[in-house]
Amino acid sequence: CHDLYDSPVMLSCCHYFCQAHISAKAQGGVVACPTCDQVTRLRPEGLRVEQALQLVADVWREKRKEAKPSEVPGADAPPVCGLCEERLASRRCLHCDGSLCTECEKSVHSKGMFKSHPVVDLFGVDGRPVARSDAYAQQMRCDVHVGEKLNFYCLDCRKLVCSHCLILGDHRGHGQHTIDQACDTGKDTLSAWLEALRTRVGKIDMFSEKLHSVELDVQNNAEEQRNTINRELDHLRELVEAKRRQLLSKGALEEKQKRVQLQAQIDATERVHKDALRLVSRSSSLLAVESDHAFLGLVLPLIMDMKNCGGQPIDGKPKVSAVFKPFTTEVQTRLLGELELGVSRSMALGQPQPPTPSGSPGISMTGSMNTAQLPAAATTGYSAQFGAPTGMPGVAVSYVHQPPSAQQQQQQQQEQQ
C-alpha cells in the first residue's frame, strides 16, 4: 500500500507487509512475497504481528500529525509547566515525559527520586522546539512483559526484546546485543553494503556507457552496412549490364557470320538452279524444232551443256548450322545465393585474417560480397579493380572482352563448318 505499516508481519525472506494485505494474498497456506516472490508457509495461528515495528509506525503517524498545521487556535502555543500549571515550560523530563518550568525543575524535580531523571531543553537556540529523539525509546515497550523497555536485540529471532524475554521468556539462551551494539552493527553492515552497492552502481554506469557506445556503433555500422550492400550490388548490376551488352555483341557477330556463309550457299544454289532451268527450257524448245537438220545441228552443244550442268555437285545439306552457342545463368544464379554478410574484402581475396581480440563481440557490422567461395569459372571474363590493403598490390580480373587467340579462332571456324 506504500503507506505506514498497519499490523506488520515478517515473511521468511525478512520483508515486512501489512497483515491484512498478506492475508488477502495467501492461498493454500502459503504466500509469495510481493517483493522477491519467495514463498512463505503460514502457521495455523497466522503470522505474528511485529509489535516493535508497529510502535515505530505509530510514532511516525503521530509525527506526521504534528507536522500538519493545527486548526485549533492556540494549539501551537508553548506548553505550560505540568507541576505548577502556571508558568510556561522550558524543560522536559525524558523519564516522566512531562514539561517543566525552570523554577519547578530546581525546586521539585531535582530532588528525591526525580533527581536521576534526565531533563532536556524544550527549545533550541533558534527558539524552535527540539525534536524528541527519545520518542521511540519511550514507547518501545514489550508486548509480553508489560511495561518493560525493549533494550535488547535477539540475534536468533532478529527482533527487539526486553531483559525479561532473555532471562525468563521465549528468548532465553538466545544470542543478544544491547540496542546500541545492535544498532552499531547494523549501521556497519549497512555501510558495507552501501559501499558495495555504490561500487556496483559505478560499474553499472560504466557498463551502461559501453552499451550506449555499442548502440551508437550499431547504428553507424548498420548504416555503413546498408551503404556497402547498395554500393556492391549496384556495382554488380553494372557489371551484369556490361556483360549483357558483351554477350549480345558476340551473339550478333555469330549471327552475322552464319548469315554470310548461308547467303553464299544460297547464291550458289540459285545459280545452279537457274542454269538447270535454262537448259530445260532450251531442251523443250529444241524438241519442238521440226527440221531434222536444225535439231542435229543444235543438239550436241545442248547435250554437252547438260552434261556439264549435271556433273556439278549439289550440296546435300546446309553448310551453316542454325544452332547457336548455348547460354545459361543457372550457375551464376546459384552463386548469387552464396552472397552473405560477414565476409570481409580480405577474406574474399584469400588473405590471412588477424585473430579476433579476446573479449570482443566477434560480430562485424560491415558487409561484403562472399567472393571467396566462388569457383574460378564463375569469375572468368568478369573483373573489378579491388583496393588492396596498404602494401598489397591490387587484384585485377578483366571484365573487358579479350580478342580470341589463334587456337580459339580455329576452333570457332571448325564449329561453324
Cell numbers standing for residue 297: 545441228
Contacts of residue 363, Cβ cutoff 8 Å, sequence gap at least 6: none
Residue type, 6: D
**Which 8-state DSSP code applies to residue 30?**
E
| Maximal CA-CA distance, the chain | 191
CA atoms of 321 and 103, how far apart (whole Å): 138
Q: Stretch 338-344: mean pLDDT, rounded?
A: 77
* β-pair partners for 178: 152
Say which residue the cell 543478544 belongs to.
Answer: 176
Provide mean pLDDT across the span 258-276.
91
SS (H, E, C) 166-224: HHCCCCCCCCEEEHHHHHHHHHHHHHHHHHHHHHHHHHHHHHHHHHHHHHHHHHHHHHH
pLDDT digit string, tens, across residues 372-381 = 333 333 333 3
Determine the Cα–Cα distance for residues 31 and 9; give it in Å rounded to an integer: 12
The average pLDDT across 382-396 equals 34
How crowded is the C-beta side of 20, counted as CA atoms within 13 Å? 4
CB-based contacts of 11: which residues, under 8 Å, 6+ apart? 17, 22, 31, 33, 38, 40, 47
Asked whether residue 369 carries a pLDDT value surpassing 60, the answer given is no
Q: Judge contact between 153 and 184, C-beta under 8 A.
A: no
120 close to 94: Cβ distance less than 8 angstroms:
yes
Question: In this structure, what C-alpha cell is assigned to residue 320?
Answer: 551453316
Which amino acid would we find at residue 142? C
pLDDT, tens digit, for every residue of 131-177? 555 555 666 778 788 778 888 889 888 888 888 888 888 888 899 88
Mean pLDDT of the chain: 77
Mean pLDDT over 7-18 rounds to 86
pLDDT of residue 92: 81
Q: Report the candidate in 225, 212, 230 with the shortest Cα–Cα distance to residue 343.
A: 225
Place of cell 571484365: 399
Is residue 367's pLDDT more than 60? no
The three-state DSSP-derived secondary structure of 259-288 is HHHHHHHHHHHHHHHHHHHHHHHHHHHHHC
* Length of the chain in terms of residues written: 417
User: What DSSP state is assigned to residue 128?
Assistant: S
User: Residue 92: enclosing H or E segment and its boundaries?
Assistant: strand 91-93
What is the tens place of the pLDDT at every residue in 349-360? Answer: 666 666 654 444
CA 15 to chain centre: 35
Any idea which residue has 553494372 for its cell?
238
* Residue 102: predicted pLDDT: 86
Over residues 217-265, the pLDDT tens digits come to: 999 999 999 999 999 999 999 999 999 999 999 999 999 999 999 999 8
- Give the separation between CA 119 and CA 123, rounded to whole angstroms: 12
Is a pLDDT exceeding 90 seen at residue 214?
yes
**How confident is the model at residue 1, as a pLDDT?**
79
Higher pLDDT, 157 or 365: 157
Give the separation between CA 180 and CA 190, rounded to whole angstroms.
Answer: 15
Confidence of residue 402 (pLDDT cuts 50, 70, 90): very low
Burial 107-116 (b: 16+ CB within 10 A, else e): eebeeeeeee
- Stated as kind and residue range, the H or E segment containing 41 is strand 39-41
What whole-number percentage of the chain has pLDDT above 70?
75
Q: Which helix (H) or strand (E) holds 152?
A: strand 152-154
| Greatest mean pLDDT among 137-146, 290-299, 388-397 | 290-299
Residue with grid cell 545442248, as numbered in its chain: 302
- What is the spatial distance between Cα 151 and Cα 171, in angstroms, rounded to a whole number? 14
205 grid coordinates:
554506469
pLDDT value of residue 237:
93
74: phi > 0 → left, psi -120 to 50 → alpha, else beta; which? left
Q: 282-299: buried (b, 16+ CB within 10 Å) or exposed (e) per residue? A: eeeeeeeeeeeeeeeeee
Q: How much is the average pLDDT of 392-414?
A: 48
